[in-house]
């Protein structure tokens, strides 16, 4: 009886949130303008607020004229003060928690403030919305009769300052409200184990006999967990272990390169819902069953601005509020948040696919691209091209990364790939030909640079042994949490690191078209 009462109360509570979501969908510009004023009002007496005259900012033009655009390096000094326990620096009061992220900037590590406001009114609020949207789309769901598996990271204290840093997931688990903790497995103790491989064994053991109906996590790590589960208990499919499994809420990276592997793990069809969250905030949710575009969350403590990608490196870039964006154009996202980030460039690039309401797709990262020859290849391009190549050659890719080969001694440049296959194509020459052809079709700049091999010759592909990327992450202490393989990089930083680590075990394949 208690179990069914809990389900009913949770279901009723979450169902009411749909009305709030519909409200910001209907009045997006008004919602964002009101939020901007709220953020400025809250922070007017902070060190940052006093410096930039928050006390009399009333309109967007004042906000945009006074507050400079910032990257992590611009806020690093102030964040260091906040980490040492100083109060009223970027946001009112002291900040106890910091999400550590290696990101893809020049900084070795970023420490993103996580305030009580951002935990409650951004991350947890968005988490409730994920479930609200799911039950709205699936009114017959029984997910609250079972459990949700979460994959968490870990955290540690910062010297003697009584502040803590770690993966965002660990911070959210540590502070999780009772209603959410009640449906999650494994326990906090297991979820927060520091060593990923020890945690993984405990996850497998402690979730086997639970009635799991929901999975939350980064899709690459979830896949490793599910494969370990099947192997450990000698099953063929996951729904032999969890017959009531319904949905996977995934984020952190594009699921497309992994989707066939997921489908192979289940006898039945389950739902996949994409979420867009990062250390800096929870930004968007897939709100439609069969359309993967993401609904931008406009009342979650984040004020959004957008820089056209072609303006990004200019001294005085054009910056747009949400009412002035265009469809199908690449933008770098700029946020001001209730964690004290002000006009902060997140590092992701997005496209608007719809404006009524505002829906987006993630096109890449401002630093995860290859543009060594003017080809402007982004992750969206490579993910699409790989999916086509896999489909046409009946192959499956586990992981990949790519980087440039520079022109040398009169020889044209190239893109060099390391690919770890789950199912290798029968003919690698065909695979490479299709990959190259699809990239030309998707990206006209790449096609131009490939003309007669003058600037770019065909891609070079290294076929990696199974597990090489996992081993590279382990070597660099990046197992678990929100760590991901850097898909693209505009230098040889990552590709050389992986090749040097495992060169004797990687098969080199190169053939000119």
Q: How does DSSP assign 105-153, residue by residue?
A: SSSS-EEEEE-HHHIIIIIIHHHHHHHHHHHHH-TT--GGGSEEEE---
Judgement on whether residues 285 and 383 belong to the same structural domain of the protein: no
Dihedral (CA of 106, 219, 124, 176) sign: negative
- Tokens at residue 196, please? 């990923």
Judgement on whether residues 481 and 344 belong to the same structural domain of the protein: no
Q: What is the pLDDT of residue 510?
A: 52
Q: What is the pLDDT of residue 11?
A: 60
Q: What is the pLDDT of residue 298?
A: 97
Judgement on whether residues 376 and 341 belong to the same structural domain of the protein: no
Judgement on whether residues 387 and 441 belong to the same structural domain of the protein: yes
- Tokens at residue 291, please? 């359309």
Structural domain ending residue among the three candidates 362, 389, 421: 362
Query: pTM for the complete prediction?
Result: 0.81
Q: What is the pLDDT of residue 2?
A: 40
Decide: 410 and 455 in contact? Cβ < 8 Å.
Answer: no
Q: What is the pLDDT of residue 508?
A: 62
Distance CA 498, CA 89 (A): 40
Judgement on whether residues 376 and 355 belong to the same structural domain of the protein: no
> Closest Cα partner for 253 from 157, 364, 115, 124?
364
Dihedral (CA of 154, 158, 159, 160) sign: negative
Q: Residues in the chain with pLDDT < 70? A: 1-13, 15, 102-108, 410, 481-482, 504, 508-513
Judgement on whether residues 377 and 278 belong to the same structural domain of the protein: no
Q: What is the pLDDT of residue 416?
A: 94
Domain that holds residue 9: 1-362
Judgement on whether residues 389 and 419 belong to the same structural domain of the protein: yes
Count Cα atoms within 13 angstroms, Cβ side, for 439. Answer: 27
Structural domain ending residue among the three candidates 328, 362, 396: 362
Judgement on whether residues 61 and 172 belong to the same structural domain of the protein: yes
Residue 278 sits in a domain whose CATH number is: 3.40.50.12780
Distance CA 257, CA 276 (A): 17
308's torsion region: left (phi>0), alpha (psi -120 to 50) or beta?
Answer: beta
- Tokens at residue 11, please? 């279901």
Q: What is the pLDDT of residue 1?
A: 41
Q: What is the pLDDT of residue 433?
A: 95
The tally of domains found in the chain comes to: 2
Distance CA 266, CA 246 (A): 11
> Closest Cα partner for 271 from 292, 296, 253, 293?
292
Decide: 71 and 345 in contact? Cβ < 8 Å.
Answer: yes
Judgement on whether residues 247 and 122 belong to the same structural domain of the protein: yes
- Bridge partners (DSSP) of residue 411 are 408
Judgement on whether residues 183 and 244 belong to the same structural domain of the protein: yes
Judgement on whether residues 208 and 90 belong to the same structural domain of the protein: yes
């Amino acid at each position: 009886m208690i179990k069914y009462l809990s389900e009913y109360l949770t279901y009723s509570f979450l169902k009411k949130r749909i009305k709030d979501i519909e409200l910001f969908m209907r009045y997006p510009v008004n919602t964002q303008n009101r939020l901007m004023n709220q953020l400025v009002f809250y922070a007017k007496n902070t060190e940052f607020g006093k410096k930039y005259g928050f006390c009399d900012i009333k309109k967007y033009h004042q906000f945009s004229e006074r507050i400079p655009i910032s990257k992590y390096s611009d806020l690093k000094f102030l964040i260091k003060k906040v980490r040492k326990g100083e109060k009223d620096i970027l946001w009112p009061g002291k900040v106890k928690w910091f999400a550590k992220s290696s990101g893809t900037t020049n900084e070795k590590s970023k420490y993103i403030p996580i305030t009580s406001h951002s935990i409650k009114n951004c991350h947890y609020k968005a988490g409730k919305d994920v479930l609200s949207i799911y039950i709205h789309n699936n009114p017959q769901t029984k997910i609250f009769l079972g459990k949700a598996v979460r994959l968490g990271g870990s955290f540690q204290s910062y010297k003697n300052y009584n502040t803590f840093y770690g993966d965002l997931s660990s911070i959210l688990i540590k502070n999780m409200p009772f209603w959410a903790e009640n449906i999650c497995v494994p326990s906090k103790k297991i979820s927060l184990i520091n060593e990923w491989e020890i945690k993984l064994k405990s996850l497998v053991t402690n979730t086997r006999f639970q009635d799991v109906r929901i999975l939350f996590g980064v899709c690459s790590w979830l896949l490793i967990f599910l494969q370990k589960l099947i192997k450990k208990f000698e099953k063929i499919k996951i729904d032999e272990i969890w017959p009531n499994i319904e949905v996977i809420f995934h984020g952190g990276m594009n699921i497309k390169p992994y989707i066939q592997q997921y489908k192979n793990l289940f006898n039945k069809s389950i739902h996949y819902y994409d979420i867009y969250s990062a250390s800096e905030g929870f930004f968007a949710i897939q709100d439609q069953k069969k359309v993967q575009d993401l609904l931008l969350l406009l009342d979650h403590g984040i004020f959004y601005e957008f820089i056209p990608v072609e303006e990004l490196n200019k001294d005085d870039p054009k910056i747009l509020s949400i009412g002035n964006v265009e469809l199908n154009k690449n933008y770098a996202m700029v946020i001001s948040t209730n964690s004290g980030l002000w006009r902060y460039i997140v590092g992701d690039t997005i496209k608007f696919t719809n404006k009524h309401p505002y829906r987006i797709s993630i096109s890449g990262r401002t630093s995860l691209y290859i543009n060594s020859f003017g080809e402007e290849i982004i992750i969206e391009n490579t993910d699409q091209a790989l999916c086509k190549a896999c489909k046409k050659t009946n192959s499956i890719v586990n992981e990949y990364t790519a980087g440039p080969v520079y022109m040398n001694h009169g020889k044209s440049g190239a893109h060099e790939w390391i690919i770890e296959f789950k199912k290798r194509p029968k003919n690698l020459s065909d695979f490479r030909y299709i990959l190259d052809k699809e990239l030309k079709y998707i990206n006209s700049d790449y096609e131009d640079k490939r003309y007669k091999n003058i600037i770019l010759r065909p891609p070079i592909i290294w076929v990696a042994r199974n597990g090489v990327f996992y081993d590279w992450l382990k070597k660099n202490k990046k197992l678990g949490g929100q760590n991901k393989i850097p898909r693209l990089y505009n230098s040889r930083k990552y590709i050389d690191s992986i090749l040097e680590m495992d060169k004797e075990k990687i098969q080199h394949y190169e053939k000119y078209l």
